A and B are shown apart, each in its own frame.
Chain A
Amino acid sequence: MNKLKATLIKATVLTFEQLSFLLPTEELDEKQQNARPEAAVSVEFQGPFSGKLLLILYGQLLSNIAANMLGQEDAPSKKQQQDAFGEIANVICGNMLPGIAGSKEVFQIFAPQWIRNAGSAAAGKETSAAEARVGLDLGRVDVRLFLSSDAVHFLKEHEQ
């Protein structure tokens, strides 16, 4: 497993465990693999290099995630669900960047952008630099990292 993917998985697992109180798994069962796309959100960042993190949630998990984050039993509103998933994307991004760029680099992380059609986001053909697939309850989350061309140079220098 390359460093980008390992960092992405670590940040994803930590964030879902601690924010949404779900138990993420790296091994997926059949139900998790076949779950349908429910929601998608992206977060862009800029710093020594720029890029984007895309999260696609599969299965009917969004309402549970928001309810767990809010600590309420009533079904959260659509707006709360979107806010909760966006905040998760934001936290994953913030936790991932020091892992790939080092702890001294400063990045600006922009507000999460909700993607209306999760299915087309899931089917997107854009090539990612790394992708993490993590099981969550009866569904899963796919996290795709896209990096600008200046990232290649930065990461090579950073490795040495």
Chain B
Amino acid sequence: MAINVLVVDDSAVMRAMIIKALHLCGLPLGEIHQAANGKDGLKVLDKNWIDLSLVDINMPVMGGVEMIDKVRENPDMADLAIIVVSTESSETRIEMLEKKKAGFVHKPFSPEVLRKLIIEKTGVTDEQVKGDAYQSNGFDF
């Protein structure tokens, strides 16, 4: 199963770094879409089949928490696997995101951490991943 991914972050540089980390995860990736805020992210979700969304919290126009709420309210996309990638690490915030069934990765992060959470959230099994060219090179993002 190739995973179609949506990366939502207002920083184009951070989106590029997340996409680079995704490729280093060695997971079977399909299409990778990008959006600069939650509102644009919802438009991408509306028009494309997405298996996983990586979302920042603080963004202009629409932040990550509001985007997650709108996804969970929509029966067509309520089960989407979501991982928040953010600089914030408040335990209170992380608990709140867990209640919304979103994973959390703290910036800066390593591809290993991202990979583990993606497997957990998407249900991609080790069997499906086996044989892919996963190699940790020690990079963090």
- The yes or no answer to A38 lying at the interface (CB within 8 A) is no
Quick check: A98 and B89 within 8 Å, CB to CB? yes
User: A103 within 8 Å of B by Cβ?
Assistant: yes
Contacts of A106 in B (CB 8 A): 88, 90, 92-93
Residues of B within 8 A of A14 (CB): 108
Bound-complex Cα distance A83 to B88 (A): 18
Give the interface segment out of B11-19, B47-55, B72-80. Answer: B11-19
Q: For the complex, is B112 an interface residue (Cβ under 8 Å from A)? A: no
**B58 at interface by CB-CB < 8 Å:** yes
1/0 per position for B7-29, CB-CB distance to A under 8 A?
00011111011001000000000
User: At the interface, yes or no: A93 with Cβ under 8 Å from chain B?
Assistant: yes
How many Cβ-Cβ contacts under 8 Å join chain A to chain B?
72
A side interface size, CB within 8 A: 31
Q: Are B93 and A110 in contact (CB under 8 A)?
A: no
| Chain B residues, CB < 8 A from A84 | 13
Instruction: List chain A residues, Cβ under 8 A from B87.
Output: 90-91, 93-95, 109
Tell which of B13, B91, B108 has the most Cβ of chain A within 10 Å: B13
Q: Contacts A105-B90, A108-B58: A91 and B107 contacting too (C-beta < 8 A)?
A: yes
Q: Which residue of A has the minimal Cβ distance to B87?
A: A94
- Cβ of A70 within 8 Å of any chain B Cβ, yes or no, is yes
Chain B, interface size category, equals 20 to 34
Please encode chain B, from 52 to 69, with 1 for each CB lying within 8 Å of some chain A CB and 0 for all others.
Answer: 000000101000000000
Q: Which residues of A contact B16 (CB under 8 A)?
A: 69-71
Closest chain A residue, CB of each to CB of B140 = A18
Chain B binding surface SS class: loop
| Contact (Cβ within 8 A) A94 B86 | yes
Q: Which residues of B contact A (CB under 8 A)?
A: 10-14, 16-17, 20, 58, 60, 86-93, 107-108, 139-141
- 16 new A-B contacts at CB < 8 Å, known A94-B89, A106-B90, A108-B58: A19-B140, A21-B139, A69-B16, A69-B17, A70-B16, A71-B16, A71-B20, A83-B11, A83-B13, A86-B11, A87-B14, A90-B87, A97-B90, A106-B88, A111-B58, A111-B60
* A-B residue pairs, 9 tightest by C-beta: A94-B87, A18-B108, A18-B140, A83-B13, A84-B13, A106-B90, A87-B11, A91-B87, A103-B91
Q: What are 27 A-B contacts defined by CB distance under 8 Å?
A: A14-B108, A19-B17, A19-B108, A19-B141, A21-B139, A69-B17, A70-B13, A70-B16, A70-B17, A71-B17, A71-B20, A83-B12, A91-B87, A91-B108, A94-B86, A94-B87, A95-B87, A95-B89, A97-B90, A104-B90, A104-B91, A106-B90, A106-B92, A106-B93, A107-B90, A109-B87, A110-B58
